[in-house]
């Protein structure tokens, strides 16, 4: 394991000292979740939390992002730390005292904790400014939940040499998880999360009376056949050593029990871990759906929504992250994931341009086993707030390690 600066050992105590601020900001954000790319209340809360720190703050133009820069006393490289800010469109059923007050919106993926941890990490790092050679770029990002917020920020110049802090030399992000033991960190080198694309297929036939299907062209059997044919294509056309998950999650057709509809609609997602498999399966989806529809006398309109690319951790950056966790939290708190997660993450846009790593911070609630905990994206998910101090320490440690 690579050696780590001895200063990291005291970071957890410093993170605990600012824990009341971390918790207060997290709960304020949790009560007022916002969706998508336009998060004005969240942006203003972040700006207020950073207002007394020696930071250069830049606001997004096309989205409500916040970029803050901490300049060290001496020149050096730039390290980027990311915290995403948006919530999910769902009702909260946790019963927490600080539950969402916004109908139909909930911080069910823990982005409120990410924002609070990153803001507190900025506060801790400001105390170490004299020992920093380089700069820290704090990336507070909207629109991670499918809206490509990171790409908007990159398009605005986040990673450009002429950007707010110049081109970053490394980049790191933590993602909280309720199904990992509290305070532990899980990561892996190489692919850590999948690419995700959406699939929407409209099967077109000819409507008619349910008693006379021979006078119609029923799109429902065609759509049903497509579901099985797509799964067969995945297992028969893709190397078994190339992970891929194709899920049709929504099918709809018709309006009543005695009418054959004119159209049937289905949609789902494709998740892959390599560009080659992704390209091949997208071609297979078009071929299978088109020809299956034709076999039933129908036609198919196929729309693919290009999602996030594969999230790939740089091996060297992952080694550094593991060393930093050892130095800040103590040995035995980090584990190597045996396999990637097939969910997707738009930090992949950053890691495709800058060497870095994403890791999962455990926050399983006290008294609950990880396998029994409500997972991220559940309407009942609860995170152990004590784990946020570990996240603050790791964020700060990553910056100090890179800029010592």
Catalytic residues: 308, 385
φ, ψ of residue 299 to 5 degrees: the values are -125, 165
Reading the block at residue 167, the tokens are 């081109």
Query: What's the maximum distance between 2 C-alpha atoms anywhere in the chain?
Result: 82
Measured distance CA(59)–CA(42) in Å, rounded = 12
* Axis-axis angle for helices 40-50, 111-126 (nearest 10): 20
DSSP 11-77: HHHHHHHTHHHHHHHHHHHHHS---TT--HHHHHHHHHHHTTSS-EEEE-SSS--EEEEEE-SEEEE
Q: By three-state DSSP, how is residue 102 classified? A: coil
Please classify residue 161 by burial: count the beta carbons closer than 10 Å to its beta carbon, then call 0-12 exposed, 13-18 middle and 19+ buried. Answer: exposed
Measured distance CA(82)–CA(79) in Å, rounded = 10
Please classify residue 337 by burial: count the beta carbons closer than 10 Å to its beta carbon, then call 0-12 exposed, 13-18 middle and 19+ buried. Answer: middle
**Dihedral sign of CA atoms 181, 354, 164, 130 in order:** positive
Reading the block at residue 322, the tokens are 């593991």
Do residues 257 and 210 make contact, with C-beta atoms less than 8 angstroms apart? yes
Residue 268, beta-bridge partner list: 199, 248
């Amino acid at each position: 394991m690579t050696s780590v600066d001895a200063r990291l050992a005291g970071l957890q105590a410093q993170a605990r000292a600012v824990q009341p601020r971390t918790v207060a900001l997290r709960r304020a954000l949790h009560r007022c979740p916002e969706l998508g790319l336009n998060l004005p209340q969240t942006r203003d809360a972040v700006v207020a939390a950073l207002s007394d720190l020696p930071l250069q703050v830049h606001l997004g133009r096309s989205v409500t992002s916040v970029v803050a820069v901490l300049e060290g006393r001496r020149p050096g490289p730039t390290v980027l730390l990311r915290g995403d800010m948006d919530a999910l469109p769902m009702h909260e059923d946790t019963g927490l005292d600080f539950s969402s007050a916004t109908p139909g919106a909930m911080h069910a993926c823990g982005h409120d904790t990410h924002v609070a941890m990153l803001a507190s990490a900025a506060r801790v790092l400001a105390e170490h400014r004299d020992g920093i050679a380089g700069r820290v770029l704090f990336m507070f990002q909207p629109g991670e939940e499918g809206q490509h917020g990171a790409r908007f920020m990159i398009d605005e110049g986040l990673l450009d040499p002429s950007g707010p802090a110049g081109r970053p030399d490394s980049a790191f992000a933590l993602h909280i998880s309720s199904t990992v033991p509290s305070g532990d960190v899980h990561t892996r080198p190489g692919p850590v999360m999948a690419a995700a694309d959406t699939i929407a297929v409209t099967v077109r036939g000819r409507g008619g009376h349910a008693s006379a299907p021979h006078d119609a062209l029923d799109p429902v059997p065609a759509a049903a056949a497509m579901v099985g044919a797509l799964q067969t294509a995945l297992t028969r056309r893709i190397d078994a050593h190339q992970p891929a998950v194709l899920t049709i999650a929504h099918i709809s057709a018709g309006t009543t029990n005695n009418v054959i509809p004119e159209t049937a609609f289905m949609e789902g997602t494709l998740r892959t871990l390599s560009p080659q498999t992704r390209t091949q399966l997208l071609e297979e989806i078009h071929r299978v759906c088109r020809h299956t529809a034709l076999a039933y006398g129908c036609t198919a309109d196929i729309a693919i929504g290009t999602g996030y690319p594969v999230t790939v951790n740089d091996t060297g950056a992952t080694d550094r992250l593991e060393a930093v966790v050892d130095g800040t939290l103590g040995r035995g708190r980090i584990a190597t994931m045996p396999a990637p997660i097939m969910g997707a993450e738009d930090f992949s846009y950053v890691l495709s341009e800058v060497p870095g790593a994403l890791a999962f911070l455990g926050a399983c609630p006290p008294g609950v086993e990880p396998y029994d905990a409500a997972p991220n994206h559940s309407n009942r998910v609860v995170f152990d707030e004590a784990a946020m101090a570990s996240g603050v320490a790791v964020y700060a440690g990553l910056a100090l390690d890179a800029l010592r």
